[in-house]
Amino acid sequence: MPDISTLNNYQLIEYGAWGLSLLLGLWMLFDTLKTNMTYSEDLLTSSREGEIDDALVIDPPHQGGHR
């Protein structure tokens, strides 16, 4: 870990960009894992091509959202 007092402004910006990238990446990974564990695989992969307007749309924690 570099000594923060020796960093110039550009290095701080670069570390900021790396940090933000890491944060966003971890957020997506965490949410993916959480979603995979919360819902059944059958439900997650239940989308079918051509099934457009009818007999859809379920969003278990958000019932009544989109229809």
Burial class (CB in 10 A: 0-12, 13-18, 19+), 39: middle
Q: Does 12 bind other proteins (CB under 8 A)?
A: no
Q: Does 55 bind other proteins (CB under 8 A)?
A: yes
CB count, 10 Å around CB of 24?
Answer: 10
> Of 2 and 60, which has the nearer Cβ to other proteins?
60
Locate 41 and state its tokens: 């695989």
**Site residues (CB under 8 A) for other proteins?**
8-10, 13-15, 17-18, 20-21, 24-25, 27-29, 31-32, 35, 37-53, 55-62, 66
